Structure 1
Amino acid sequence: MDMFIDGAWTATASGATRDVRNPATGAVIDTVPWGTADDADRALQAAAAALTRWRKVPVEERARLQHRAAEAMRAASGEIGRLLCLELGRPLKGAVAEVRRAADLLDVYAEEGVRIHGELRQSTLPGEKVLVSREPVGVVVAITPFNYPINLLVFKLGAALIAGCTVVAKPADDTPLSTLALAGVLHEAGIPAGVFNVVTGRGSEIGSALIGHRIPRKIAFTGGTEAGKKIAALAAQTMKRVTLELGGQCPAIVRADADLDVAARAIVNHAFANSGQFCYRVNRVYAQRAIYEPLLARLAEHAGRLTVGDGFAEDVAMGPLVNEKIFANAYAQIVDAEAKGARILTGGRRLTGGAFDLGFFLPATIVADADHGMKVMREETFGPVLGVMPYDSDLEAIERANDTPYGLAGFVFSGDVGIALTMADAIEAGSVWINDIHRSRHDVPFGGVKESGIGREKGRYGVEAYLEYKTTYLTYRGVLA
């Protein structure tokens, strides 16, 4: 599959390609161009040319096109979801659901776009008006990770397009096919040539070329914190705007008065979704000592029911990890915890034998008796490993929860809503869930504090990140006859 530039499928001039493999089997699915700085320039030039036209399209028309694009995504969700299952390994049902959920976000952004408004400031001077308007920031570079390649792209794409910006996207090396397929679908749905472009290649080459180029005015990135810091530093050389949604090491606090059945189910479902490969998953649990062992038993019971296998198989809850690096990081945390005295209640070892030998399969792993000297309680895991430790006082739980450079999400379970809300206020995070865990809504802001990022995505908050203010001073004269 080629890159998508200016409404056409395009190979790299160098002719270099990279294989895309199925992480469940190791089989080559397809190849994509291994693009260069020249390809980055071509895509950005196309986006810049399209910007002059797209920004002038009335927002109502942009919204109409975006709604049509969302419908096209739903119609193609089976096709795109199949590619996503192949390149990521996530169970097919979840892959299709990601595409459809991303289409819903396109619709939300379209509705928010038609509510963009400016201001007419009151003036004490006769013959003067001051207008405050909103304008698109310009060409946007969207750099996305492997774990939710469609949804996390639409976090950026939907907001940028309705704001009047054009986009060049660079998907992750492991999962480019679903993003390329999406580009074709949106173009067929009526998104004009050059408005949405997709290039593929190594981040250190084509990614850096995109960020350092003179054309784009904003970089939107989801990924690791260290990569985000490098992107921010490079973007600062030309004062580009940035939205950075970075790493997480998210805590859950379970008090003795919580409903343990609800807490265990919610924590396991969230911690091990997508094989633990997402940033705001529950990474570590602090359980009040009185209910520590009962909660561990419930967590282990729920985790033990999660089946692992090829994403195309029936009734599979978890697929493989996407590559050896991700697997090695998760497994290193298990080894570290065991060496320091932790108990492994479930999982803990790579699955082998038969089809398991072809991919990086790791079952849901519960690490009991963890502490802050262990990597699982301090470093982002990005895999199906969950650390659990006891605590005695509420103040201790909050101190532990905040003892991290990250601040993306937190979770509290308690029968006392007043205490739960007080804990939520004290947790340093961009989002906090109380007494259950569900998907983040499309109409409220999502993002982190501390080293978990800069800016917010989704809803009107996401659209505003792609707009600039302009102030116009008007002096006029008129004579009434």
Structure 2
Amino acid sequence: MDMFIDGAWSATATGATRAITNPATGAVIDTVPWGTAEDADRAIRAAATAFASWKRVPVEERARLQHRAAAAMREASEEIARLLSLELGRPLKGALQEVRRAADLLDVYAEEGLRLTGEMRQSALPGEKVFVTREPVGVVVAITPFNYPINLLVFKLGAALIAGCTMVAKPADDTPLSTLKLASVLHAAGLPKGVFNVVTGRGSEIGSALIAHPVPRKVAFTGGTEAGKKIAALAAQTMKRVTLELGGQCPAIVRADADLGVAARAIVNHAFANSGQFCYRVNRVYAHRSIYEALLEGLAAHASALTIGDGLAGDVSMGPLVNEKIYANSAAQIADARARGARILTGGGRLSGDPYDKGFFLPATVIADADHSMKVMTEETFGPVIGVMPFDSDVEAVERANETRYGLAGFVFSGDIGVALTMAEEIEAGSIWINDIHRSRHDVPFGGMKESGVGREKGHYGVEAYLEYKTTYLSYRGALA
């Protein structure tokens, strides 16, 4: 599959390609171009040409096209989801859900665009009007991760398009196929050429070229914190705006008065979704000492019931980890916890034998008796591993929850809503769930505090991140006849 530039498939001039493999089987699915700075320039110039006309399309027409694009995504959802499952290893059911949720987000953004307004200020001067309007920021570079390649792209794409921006996207090296397919689907649905372009290649080459290029005015990135810092530094050289959704090490607090059945189920379902490969998953759990062993029993029971295998081979709960690097981080955290005296209640080691030998299959791993000397409680895991630690007071639990450089999400389980809300106020995170965990809503802001990022996505908050304010002063003279 080639890159998608200016409404057409495009190879790189060098002819270099990279194989895309199925992480469950090791089989090569397809190849993509290993693009260069020259390819980045071609895509950006196509987006810049398209921007000149796209920004002038009335927002009502952009919304109509975006709704049509969402409908086309749903029609092609099974084809896109199959590619996503092949390249990521996620069970097909979850891949299909991602594509359809992303289509819903396109619709939400379209409606938010129709609600954008400007202002006319009251002026103290006779013969003067002051208008405050919002204009699209310009060409946008989107750099997206492997774990939710469609949904996290649409976080950015849907907001940019309805605002009047055009985009060049660079998907993750492991999962470009679903994004490339999406580009062709949206173009066939009526999105003008050059409005949405996709390039593939090494981040240090084509990614850096996109960010450093003088034409784009914004970079939107989801990924690791260290990569985000480098992107922000490079973007600052040309004063580009940035939206950065970065790492997380998210705490869950379970008080003595919590419904332990609900808490155990919610924590396991959330922590091990997508094999733990997402940023706002539960990474560490703090349980009141009086219910500590009971909660551990519930967590272990739910985690042990999760099935693992090839996402296209049957109805399984978890697929493989996407590559050796991602697996190695989880393995290192498990080994570190063992060495420091923790108990491994479930999982704890890579599965072997047929059909597991060809992929990095790690079962849901629950680590008991963890503490903050262990990596699992202090570093992002991005895999199917959680650490559990007892606490004795609410103050201690909140202090432990905030003892991190991250601040993406937090979770509280308690029968006392007043205490739970107070904890939510004190936890330093962009989103807090109380007494259950579900997907983040499309109409409210999503993003992090501290080193978990800059800016917010989703809802009108996301659209506004792609707009500039402009103030116009109008002086006039007129006399009534």
TM-score band by shorter chain is over 0.9
State the Cα distance separating 1:6 from its structure 2 match.
0.2
State the Cα distance separating 1:479 from its structure 2 match.
1.2
Cα distance in 1 for residues equivalent to 2:54 and 2:327: 43
Cα distance in 1 for residues equivalent to 2:34 and 2:318: 30
State the Cα distance separating 1:315 from its structure 2 match.
2.0
Residue aligning to 1:144? 144
Residue aligning to 1:157? 157
Residue aligning to 2:43? 43
Q: Give the partner amino acid of 1:473.
A: Y
Q: Give the partner amino acid of 1:405.
A: R
Q: Give the partner amino acid of 1:270.
A: H
In structure 2, the gaps of 5 or more residues are none
Moved more, 382-391 or 306-315: 306-315
Residue aligning to 2:366? 366
Residue aligning to 2:33? 33
Residue aligning to 1:86? 86
Q: Which secondary structure state, in structure 1, belongs to the residue aligned with residue 451 of structure 2?
A: helix
Cα distance in 2 for residues equivalent to 1:343 and 1:225: 29
2:19 corresponds to 1:19: yes
Superposition RMSD in Å: 0.3
Cα distance in 2 for residues equivalent to 1:234 and 1:259: 47
Residue aligning to 1:331? 331
Cα distance in 1 for residues equivalent to 2:93 and 2:116: 35
What is the correspondence of 1:344-359 to structure 2 with a 5 Å cutoff? 344-359=344-359
Question: TM-score, with normalisation over the residues of structure 1?
Answer: 1.00
What is the correspondence of 1:116-195 to structure 2 with a 5 Å cutoff? 116-195=116-195
What is the correspondence of 1:319-468 to structure 2 with a 5 Å cutoff? 319-468=319-468
Q: Give the partner amino acid of 2:375.
A: K
Q: Give the partner amino acid of 2:3.
A: M
Structure 1 residues 34-87: Cα deviation after superposition (integer angstroms, max 9, x where no partner): 000000000000000000000000000000000000000000000000000000
Structure 1 residues 353-376: Cα deviation after superposition (integer angstroms, max 9, x where no partner): 011000000000000000000000
Cα distance in 2 for residues equivalent to 1:146 and 1:454: 20
Cα distance in 1 for residues equivalent to 2:242 and 2:52: 22
2:283 corresponds to 1:279: no
Residue aligning to 1:59? 59
State the Cα distance separating 1:124 from its structure 2 match.
1.3
Aligned length: 481
Cα distance in 2 for residues equivalent to 1:281 and 1:225: 16
> Percent same amino acid at aligned positions?
83
Residue aligning to 1:212? 212
Structure 1 residues 250-273: Cα deviation after superposition (integer angstroms, max 9, x where no partner): 000000000000000000000000
Residue aligning to 2:235? 235
State the Cα distance separating 1:136 from its structure 2 match.
0.0
Moved more, 35-44 or 307-316: 307-316
2:269 corresponds to 1:269: yes
Q: Which secondary structure state, in structure 2, belongs to the residue aligned with residue 440 of structure 1?
A: coil
Cα distance in 2 for residues equivalent to 1:339 and 1:458: 42
Q: Which secondary structure state, in structure 1, belongs to the residue aligned with residue 367 of structure 2?
A: strand
Structure 1 residues 303-324: Cα deviation after superposition (integer angstroms, max 9, x where no partner): 0000000001222000000000
Cα distance in 1 for residues equivalent to 2:461 and 2:142: 17
State the Cα distance separating 1:464 from its structure 2 match.
0.2
Structure 1 residues 174-209: Cα deviation after superposition (integer angstroms, max 9, x where no partner): 000000000000000000000000000000000000
Question: TM-score, with normalisation over the residues of structure 2?
Answer: 1.00
Residue aligning to 1:5? 5
Moved over 4 A (4+): none
Q: Give the partner amino acid of 1:140.
A: V
Residue aligning to 1:309? 309
Structure 1 residues 10-54: Cα deviation after superposition (integer angstroms, max 9, x where no partner): 000111000000000000000000000000000000000000000
Q: Which secondary structure state, in structure 2, belongs to the residue aligned with residue 145 of structure 1?
A: coil
Structure 1 residues 446-474: Cα deviation after superposition (integer angstroms, max 9, x where no partner): 00000000000000000000000000010
Q: Which secondary structure state, in structure 1, belongs to the residue aligned with residue 4 of structure 2?
A: strand
State the Cα distance separating 1:126 from its structure 2 match.
1.0
Q: Which secondary structure state, in structure 1, belongs to the residue aligned with residue 43 of structure 2?
A: helix
Cα distance in 1 for residues equivalent to 2:314 and 2:218: 42
Structure 1 residues 196-226: Cα deviation after superposition (integer angstroms, max 9, x where no partner): 0000000000000000000100000000000
What is the correspondence of 1:287-306 to structure 2 with a 5 Å cutoff? 287-306=287-306
Q: Give the partner amino acid of 1:356.
A: Y
Q: Which secondary structure state, in structure 2, belongs to the residue aligned with residue 230 of structure 1?
A: helix
Q: Which secondary structure state, in structure 1, belongs to the residue aligned with residue 131 of structure 2?
A: strand
Cα distance in 2 for residues equivalent to 1:330 and 1:177: 26
Cα distance in 1 for residues equivalent to 2:389 and 2:126: 69
In structure 1, the gaps of 5 or more residues are none
